[in-house]
Chain A
Amino acid sequence: MSKKITTTLTQLAFGAGTALGVGVTATQSIAEEANWSGYVENATYHRDGVGISKFRNTAQAEFVKPIDSVGRWHNVTLNGTFRATYDGVYDINENEFGKNATEPYLGSNWHPEGSATGGPFLTAGVPFPCENDPSLCRNLDDYMDHKERDARFPEFNDELDFIRELYLDATTDLSNGDQLSVRVGKQQVVWGKTDLFRVLDVINPVDYSRHNIYDELEDIRIPQWMLNVEWRMGPTKTFDDSNLSMVWNFDKFRPNNLGTCGQSYRILDAGCFFSSYMRLDTLPGAAFPGGANPYGTAVPIIHDVKRPDWELGNTQLGLKWEGVYGDSTFSLNGLVYRQQLPSLHFRPLAPGIPAPAADGVFDIHFPWVRMIGGSVDYYSQTMDAVWRLETTYSNGEELPRDTNGHKRTDMLRYVIGFDKNQLIPALNPNRAFLISAQVFGQHILEHESDMPDFEDNWIATLLFKGWWQNDRISPQIILAHDIRAGATAVAPSVEWIPDDHWKITLGANIKFGGDETFPWSVNGNQPETYEPLARFTNGPIGVANQEDEVQLTVRYSF
């Protein structure tokens, strides 16, 4: 561990030195003390019918250390965020979550049993495969190979995630008055203007195992080692602000963390699907051409995860032009990156045979994606409201198909947002309410009928937030509705700040939906079933339909 920390800091120093063009040595003078802040927090969630679903204890410390000017670089600061978490749910509620939390059938946490689970078809997922099934553990190596201890203490892993961020900031003035600004190190780079959805905000992968899609993105983005360089041109004759930036993600690729089977949050229940088997070995020989069953053992759903190794050619690059024009701010973005969601590549028993290979149905790949996009917001004086639009067009994403494995398709995504601060004197004469509405649209441009995702789909969100008692009490309600999936999430909460240190948040998260089925399954074209593909048609809200929770978070900050 200590060698890895040393290596990490050496990487940072090398990266910083390279970026700054100076050697960063241990004798560099330090102008001011570091400014530290942070918090300790307990988040206790109770799930209807299940009991405690989270007992997460977090300690986070952040620092900013100003450094004297380094050569021609000024505003030099070293910044870091460290986080350590212990989730006690695996000790408190070990029957429901953890390595012993077996389920009666695949998807029992969100749908009734269907004809595709049990018997010769899909088994229940193996919780924490690396605790229970060495063969599956090998297959899911470097992707879903968490042990229960890793779920209890998620930051203490090989990637040293307890160092959430550690980067150097520096700025230099160019001869024409422009500025060049550099941020190098482990960081989050956030593009776009959208809440909850990731349209342009795809540079960092995301950890959905913390709390599905509901935690703040700041807390669930997985920081990456990156170089972010900005050329700030400032105001020009035409634009009030104009900036060009480049982001180079030179870290080893990391996919989104979808949650391992046995964890309390596993988006789309993908973790359990990936750790399940097909019991094709139990079929009679007569079911196969030639009269012999070629499957000696159960067939794992996942054979291998092709996570790209680190090499220069596997690093990811983005460019952005951003600025202000009159009453609008805008950006134009381009990014070459790896798809962070898994693409399932079907492995046939033999070429042309529509039956899966005996040693695993799918390999997981993370294909290259090229994305261009942009965003704009506009303040309308007449409406006293802000409109925003964010859109991307991507090429290279792969989506599953029922019998034909996967397909590469172009995708169009957008969000239209509306934000308004509105005084409602009858409710609060002194403090305006925030009303924020969004419609997220996704269009699969090369859709096929056997794709388990709607060709066109929209999700609408609404946030209504108010403040009372000098901003020390803030209730809010968030509604999200997946239109084609017919799934809805309602999340009311109240935040209370008794003083400058304590913050207490009490809320609920209630989901409806998860009723969509898909007219294909592993047992042939049976009447519509849930497994395995309806998880995509129901989306993250629908699949979580039995995860209604009451949530209490208590934080002490310093």
Chain B
Amino acid sequence: MFKKLVIAMAVVSSAQGSYAATLQDVENSFYPYKNGMPTAPGISVGMTIDQNNWQVAKDVLDPAMLEQVKQGNYTIKVGETDSFDLHPNYIAATQDRLGKVKLGNETGQIEGADAGRPFPEEPSMSDPRAGEKLAWNFKYGYNWGDSAAIYPFYWKFRDMESGKLERTLKFNFHFLNFTHRVNQEPKPAIEPNPSELFRGTYVQVLEPFDVKDTQLLIHRFEDDAKRDNAYLYLGFQRRVRRLSTGQVTDAFLGSDIMIEDFEGYNGRISDMKWTYKGTRNMLLPFYKHNEMPLATDMPAESDGYQFVDYTGKGACFPNVTWQLRKVYEVEAEPVDPNHPISKRIHYMDAQTFTIPRTSVYDRKGDLWKIWTIGQAHPDYHLPKNKGSGVSIDDAFTMIDVQANHCTTGQFKGQVDPELSPPSKFSVQNMRSSGR
């Protein structure tokens, strides 16, 4: 192990700063709580933070969410911090690639990253590209593992002021990694893959009737500079159309969510200027799904699964506990001066590299949207998710604070390769599945 450590340190290029990742870095990155759970003054497990005591959370809640609590729109209950251990294969893949991964000269270029976490070492404020490395860790994270499905997935559009439910969309979402596979065969990549696809996302809209039978297929490439190929099947047209995908700031199906917002950030690394702002202990929505007060007003699932419930103003906030986590704060500013946002502030979970909290600012610099994705521990969710090592995206809310409107998402996330075989991610499958 010592020899590996020396070799790893010797190989890393100085263009990336003077630090080379080590096995200890890997250990610290994936098990940040092995020596003790994070703490913060005034924050204790079981306490409730609301408009009467919001000040106690001013150092552990991001400013946008703190303001919501201060206004009485949301009450946060603090839960115990849990270690969300990722799959050992993903960790092993990270170890195997120590010293082999480096950034290219331009933002969006990377070499040697074909599996695992590209940059497990602690970010440094003195590293001008630290933010970009954290972005790559997110992009090549173990979000949904090698393949998974959200099956089904309910989106609700709400008037936040009145709480009126305007629209409910029911989907199935499927995800597949063509490359960067660590667990499901074939590893590390599905072949043949002539266009070097990295990832596929396949969406079927099930309800309501006016959008039923809509399907969307997105192919993302290994080359970060290349835009996604996207295909849309509309039931009433009975044919697949190619989509122009440059409009990543387009609202998806009329929701409050831009295509670029998915999973925290769904765009090219090269589209943003990434800045690492620091590491802190913060409250993030991580929880054990089966121990939450779940929704009783949702359509029944045959296996008895219940979805996360919503609460607070307009029923725009997930009724889940939040826990103290080690967090990297990363600011992303669009390179395109015509982009409708001026920046996103991402609060990345250091252990899982999911992005459970993002604040979005408009062109004028005013807060525009609050984007929250609840993370469920896989061992306290569906039985099939146990041991998957995937932090399950389990509930989301996108609150447009300027329009006083929100879109919420209730997930039934399933890490099950049978639900997302490669054949599902082909254009022909869209035509054949179409009705």
Listed in ascending order, the chain A residues whose CB lies under 8 Å from chain B are 37-39, 62, 64, 79, 169, 179, 181, 183, 188, 190, 192-193, 195, 216-219, 230, 232, 234-241, 243, 322-324, 326-327, 329, 377-379, 381, 384-386, 388, 419-423, 425, 429-432, 467, 469-472, 497, 499-501, 503, 557-558
B200: shortest Cβ distance to chain A, in Å? 11
**Residues of chain A within 8 A of B197, CB atoms compared:** 240
**A37 near B209: Cβ-Cβ < 8 Å:** yes
Q: Could you tell me the distance between the alpha carbons of A219 and B197 in the complex, rounded to whole angstroms?
A: 37
Closest 3 CB pairs of A and B: A471-B254, A384-B246, A557-B209
**A218 near B167: Cβ-Cβ < 8 Å:** no
0/1 per residue, B182-217, Cβ < 8 Å to A? 000000000011110100000000011110100000
Q: Could you tell me the distance between the alpha carbons of A234 and B167 in the complex, rounded to whole angstroms?
A: 37
**Residues of chain A within 8 A of B249, CB atoms compared:** 423, 430
Which secondary structure dominates where chain B touches chain A? mixed
**A377 near B194: Cβ-Cβ < 8 Å:** no
The listed residue (B208, B235, B243) touching A500 by CB distance below 8 A is: B208
The listed residue (A39, A243, A425) touching B340 by CB distance below 8 A is: A425
B435 at the interface (CB under 8 A from A): yes
**Residues of chain A within 8 A of B432, CB atoms compared:** 169, 181, 183, 230, 232
B4 at the interface (CB under 8 A from A): no
**Residues of chain B within 8 A of A193, CB atoms compared:** 239-241
A188: shortest Cβ distance to chain B, in Å? 6
B44 at the interface (CB under 8 A from A): no
Given contacts A218-B237, A230-B428, A499-B166, contact A384 B254 (CB under 8 A): no
**A326 near B195: Cβ-Cβ < 8 Å:** yes
**Residues of chain A within 8 A of B210, CB atoms compared:** 497, 503, 557
**B426 near A190: Cβ-Cβ < 8 Å:** no
Given contacts A240-B194, A471-B253, contact A37 B236 (CB under 8 A): no
The listed residue (A169, A379, A558) touching B229 by CB distance below 8 A is: A379
Given contacts A238-B194, A431-B254, contact A422 B423 (CB under 8 A): no
**B229 near A327: Cβ-Cβ < 8 Å:** yes
The listed residue (A37, A192, A236, A323) touching B239 by CB distance below 8 A is: A192
B232: shortest Cβ distance to chain A, in Å? 10
Given contacts A467-B254, A472-B167, contact A235 B193 (CB under 8 A): yes
Q: Could you tell me the distance between the alpha carbons of A188 and B242 in the complex, rounded to whole angstroms?
A: 21
**Residues of chain A within 8 A of B427, CB atoms compared:** 241, 324, 329
Q: Which of A193, A216, A234, A385 has the most CB atoms of chain B within a 10 A radius of its CB?
A: A234
A-B contacts, 15 listed (Cβ < 8 Å)? A37-B207, A179-B423, A183-B432, A216-B236, A217-B238, A232-B423, A232-B429, A234-B423, A236-B194, A377-B242, A419-B242, A470-B255, A472-B254, A497-B167, A500-B209
B158: nearest chain-A partner, CB-CB: A470
**A470 near B157: Cβ-Cβ < 8 Å:** yes
**Residues of chain A within 8 A of B247, CB atoms compared:** 384, 421-423, 432
Given contacts A62-B435, A234-B423, A497-B210, contact A379 B428 (CB under 8 A): no
**B194 near A239: Cβ-Cβ < 8 Å:** yes
Given contacts A326-B195, A386-B241, A557-B208, contact A470 B254 (CB under 8 A): yes
**B236 near A39: Cβ-Cβ < 8 Å:** no
B383: shortest Cβ distance to chain A, in Å? 20
**B245 near A241: Cβ-Cβ < 8 Å:** no
**A470 near B405: Cβ-Cβ < 8 Å:** yes
Q: Could you tell me the distance between the alpha carbons of A379 and B243 in the complex, rounded to whole angstroms?
A: 8
**A384 near B244: Cβ-Cβ < 8 Å:** yes
Q: A379-B244, A429-B340 provided; 20 other pairs, C-beta below 8 A?
A: A64-B435, A216-B236, A234-B423, A235-B426, A237-B194, A240-B195, A240-B219, A241-B427, A241-B428, A326-B195, A379-B243, A421-B244, A430-B249, A432-B247, A470-B167, A472-B254, A497-B210, A500-B209, A501-B208, A503-B210
The listed residue (B209, B251, B428) touching A232 by CB distance below 8 A is: B428
Q: Could you tell me the distance between the alpha carbons of A385 and B245 in the complex, rounded to whole angstroms?
A: 8
The B376-435 residues at the A interface (CB cut-off 8 A) are 405, 422-423, 426-429, 431-432, 435
The B245-285 residues at the A interface (CB cut-off 8 A) are 245-247, 249-251, 253-256, 258
**Residues of chain A within 8 A of B227, CB atoms compared:** 379, 381, 384
Q: Could you tell me the distance between the alpha carbons of A195 and B245 in the complex, rounded to whole angstroms?
A: 20
A431: nearest chain-B partner, CB-CB: B251
Q: Could you tell me the distance between the alpha carbons of A299 and B19 in the complex, rounded to whole angstroms?
A: 97
The listed residue (B209, B243, B423) touching A386 by CB distance below 8 A is: B243
A239: shortest Cβ distance to chain B, in Å? 7
**Residues of chain A within 8 A of B255, CB atoms compared:** 470
**Residues of chain A within 8 A of B431, CB atoms compared:** 322
